[in-house]
Every structure is written in C-alpha cells, then in structure tokens.
C-alpha cells in the first residue's frame, strides 16, 4: 500500500465521525460552547470540584511555592506532595498503601500487566472498561475467561476451569496466578458489580480480586470512599484502581492495596517507571479534594439527592432509565439516529447531554447518558428535565 492509499483509507474510516464540542469555560453546573451557556448534564465531575474555589486556591499556592513540572518518579520526580497524596489516598480508602500514576488508563495497565504474565489466568466481566481489556491484552496472558455481565453462576464456572488450568505449572515451576477483574460501577449503565459475591467466590477458590472503582470514587461509600467501603469489604479486595478525573476532577489514577503489592508496583510497573509524575498543580488539587471529602460528606449527599430527584422525575415522564444504581442515568433510546437527534434537540434548548452509541454500547442499546452533579441546584435539574420532556414528546419517545 502506498502512502496515498494509506491516508485515503484513514479518511474513509473517520468520515462519519463527529468532532467533539469545544468547551470554552469551566465545567460546573453550566458550561459555554460556541459562546452560549449550556446546562452541563453529561460530564463525570460528580462533586463539582472542577470549579471549586478551594481547589483553585490550593493549586495557586502550590504552584507559587513549587512551580509546575516534575519528572520521572524513579529519578528526580518524586515530590513531597506526591508522597503526601499517596498517604492521603491510602488513608481515605482504608488501605495499607497507594501508588499514583498519570491516568486511570495507565493505572489499570500497571495493575494488571505488572503482575500477570503469559502463563497466568484472568477472568473478566464482559462489560469491563476498555482500559481493562487493553491491560489484559498488554499482559499477553493466554488464558483469559469472560463471564456474562454480573452473572455469578457463570463466574464460578469460569473459576472451576481456571483452577483446573492452574494445576499445570508455569515454565519456571510456579503455579499460575488467577485474577478476577471487574468494574465497580459500569460506566454506560451505572449498575454495580456484586462485589460481595465476587469476593466470596475468590476466597472459595483462592484467587486474587481487582476492582476498577473509577466511577465509585467520591460517589459510593461513606464520604465517597468507593465501592469497597460501600460493601464494607476493606482488606478483602486485593487491588483497587481509582481515577482522579471523575469526582476529583483532576488528571491521574491510582492503585491501593497491601503495602507489599504497592511496593512491587513502584519497582516494577513500567507505566510508573517510564512516565512523568503528576504535575504540582494536579497533585495539590487532589490533595485538597481528599481533604474536603474527609472533612464533610455534604457534596456526596447533595450528589445523591440530585440523582434520586432526577431519576424519579424521568421515570414519572415515562423514560426508560435502565437499571442504574448510581448517578449515571441512561435515557434509553434504542436507535443510533434517534439518540443523536435527541441530543441535538436538547442542545438547541441549551442542555448539553451527549449521545452514547456503538461502539461505546452495543447496537440497539443507544442512549443519552445523563450525569447530575453536586454543582446542580434543583432549578438546574428542573430546566434539564423540562427539556427532556419537550424533546421526548416531540420525538414520540414518551407520550
């Protein structure tokens, strides 16, 4: 293939793609697009910290004191703020230790690929996030099992198969590691992994467990401590991954677990060893965010008050909101064109809620995904609900 054909094929592959809207403001309850104020009904800034004055001040103070840049953590990049942040996150999550990386995607790759090799075994929920899927691919593990979404009966069947495979030692004579990995909150539907049952099965068969808590941080559990806290399973899940880009509204990801595991990651994880540390600004912002949540659960309570109100009003109108157990509120529209049209009409009414279509979800499972936040007041929610009602009736989604 010559270069002309190569670029022609690329252009053909993306010709139906849509360039994302460009945000021209901070991302609070409202944001600005093309110079117009829009109700922010779809970002994952659950607690409104993206525009919180306390985080802004913390960033300014840290940057004034320390500057901006860092470096490789293993060379000259580990700053006192990084150490403080890892200690704060471990305390917040009720874990022995924590490691911070530059993103949740990187954290998942580090968490899995560092401890899983070709001859080990991974068992994964079929709807796990793309970063988990890619992390498993990166590990080059040959024996991977997928179980039906949330199906504990099938998980146990896969475990039985894995335990049989485990009887064949690896080339080095060691027994293969078996890891069950699941999202905590599934980002498209908002449903929860049945973590107590997963932990019970893991103990029964003597295997490791990992949960990606990206959408649980700052949302579930006491003061937003996540899904492990929500189910009171502290010390019973081997690996917890969290992201700092959702509720904390900052760049970064982290892993918590036993100190032995975290120390191993700090010495062996390529995503940690060969990538820059978080900037001073990001680190200071997250430290302040953790402090806010440790001091008060006010923002978490407001998030849930808004979530319950929004979902109840949508149901009264007749919208199908799926089986969400979290602030992620899908409005199901089983047709890609309908979902896109619905979102476009909302935008005309100054409500920003993006369509979720294939390949993010299977064909026929299209939707507009709404996420309220603690930044919204009731009048903001009512504005969005009224827009959904108007468009829903116009497009004959509801009567």
What DSSP assignment string belongs to 184-216? SB-TTT--B--HHHHHHHHHHHT-EEEEE-TTT
C-alpha gyration radius of the chain: 22
d(CA 11, CA 17): 10
Which listed residue (44, 139, 187, 373) is catalytic? 187
Q: CATH for 53-295?
A: 3.40.640.10
What are the pLDDT digits (tens) for 244-264?
Answer: 999 999 999 999 999 999 999
Which listed residue (79, 215, 230, 302) is catalytic? 215
Arithmetic mean of pLDDT over the chain: 96
> In the chain, which ranges are E strands?
30-33, 36-40, 97-101, 121-125, 143-147, 178-183, 208-212, 239-243, 253-257, 329-332, 351-352, 355-356, 367-370
Q: Are 120 and 141 in contact (CB under 8 A)?
A: yes
Check if 187 is active-site.
Answer: yes
d(CA 190, CA 185): 6
Query: Which has the closest alpha carbon to 177: 224, 221, 226, 142?
Result: 142
The percent of residues in the chain predicted with pLDDT above 70, rounded, is 99
Provide the pLDDT confidence category of residue 20 given band limits of 50, 70 and 90: confident
Cα 239 to Cα 255, 294, 315, distances in angstroms = 7, 22, 36
Which listed residue (246, 302, 365, 376) is catalytic? 246
pLDDT of 89 > 90? The answer is yes
| Mean pLDDT for the stretch of residues 49-65 | 98
Helix (H, G, I), strand (E, B) or coil at 158: helix
Burial label for 374, CB within 10 Å (0-12, 13-18, 19+), is buried
d(CA 128, CA 150): 10
What's the pLDDT at 372? 97
Burial label for 53, CB within 10 Å (0-12, 13-18, 19+), is exposed
Q: Are 250 and 290 in contact (CB under 8 A)?
A: no
Q: Does domain 19-46+298-394 have CATH number 3.40.50.2000?
A: no
227 token code pair: 């899904």
Residues 6+ apart with CB under 8 A from 184: 192, 193, 195, 211, 212, 213, 214, 215, 216, 220, 226, 227, 228
The structural domains of the chain, with segments of one domain joined by +, span: 19-46+298-394, 53-295
pTM (two decimals): 0.94
Residue 385: left (phi > 0), alpha (psi -120 to 50), or beta?
Answer: alpha
Q: What are the φ/ψ torsions at residue 222 (nearest 5 degrees)? A: -65, 120
What's the pLDDT at 19? 67
Q: Are 247 and 217 in contact (CB under 8 A)?
A: yes
Provide the pLDDT confidence category of residue 17 given band limits of 50, 70 and 90: low
Check if 230 is active-site.
Answer: no
Check if 246 is active-site.
Answer: yes
């Amino acid at each position: 293939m010559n270069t002309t054909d190569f670029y022609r094929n690329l252009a053909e592959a993306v010709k139906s793609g849509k360039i994302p809207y460009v945000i021209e403001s901070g991302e609070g309850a409202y944001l600005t697009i093309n110079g117009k104020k829009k109700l922010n009904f779809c970002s994952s800034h659950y607690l409104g910290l993206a525009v919180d004055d306390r985080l802004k001040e913390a960033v300014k103070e840290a940057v004034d004191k320390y500057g901006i840049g860092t470096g490789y953590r293993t060379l000259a990049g580990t700053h006192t703020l990084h150490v403080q942040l890892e200690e704060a996150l471990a305390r917040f999550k009720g874990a022995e230790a924590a490691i911070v990386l530059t993103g949740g995607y990187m954290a998942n790759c580090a968490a899995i690929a560092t401890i899983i090799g070709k001859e080990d075994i991974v068992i994964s929920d079929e709807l796990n996030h793309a970063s988990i899927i890619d992390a498993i691919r990166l590990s080059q593990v040959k024996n991977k099992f997928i179980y039906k979404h949330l199906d504990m009966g099938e998980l146990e069947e896969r475990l039985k198969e894995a335990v049989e495979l485990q009887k064949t030692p690896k080339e080095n004579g060691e027994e293969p590691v078996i890891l069950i990995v699941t999202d905590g909150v599934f980002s498209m539907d908002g449903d929860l992994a049945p973590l107590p049952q997963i932990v019970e099965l893991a103990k029964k068969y003597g295997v490791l467990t990992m949960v990606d808590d990206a959408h649980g941080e700052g949302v579930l559990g006491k003061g937003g401590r996540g899904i492990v806290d929500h189910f009171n399973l502290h010390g019973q899940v081997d690996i917890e991954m969290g992201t700092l880009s959702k509720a904390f509204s900052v760049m970064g990801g982290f892993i918590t677990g036993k100190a032995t595991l975290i120390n191993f990651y700090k010495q062996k994880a390529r995503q940690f060893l060969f990538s820059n540390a978080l900037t001073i600004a990001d680190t200071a912002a997250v430290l302040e965010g953790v402090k806010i949540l440790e001091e008060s659960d006010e923002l978490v309570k407001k998030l849930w008050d808004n979530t319950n109100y929004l979902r109840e009003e949508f149901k009264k109108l007749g919208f199908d909101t799926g089986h969400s157990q979290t602030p992620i509120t899908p409005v199901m529209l089983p047709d890609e064109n309908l979902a896109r049209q619905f979102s476009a009409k909302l935008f005309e009414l100054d409500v920003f809620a993006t369509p979720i279509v294939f390949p993010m979800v299977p064909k026929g499972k299209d939707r507009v995904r709404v996420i309220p936040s603690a930044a919204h007041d009731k009048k903001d929610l009512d504005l969005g609900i009224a827009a959904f009602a108007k468009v829903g009736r116009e497009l004959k989604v509801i009567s």
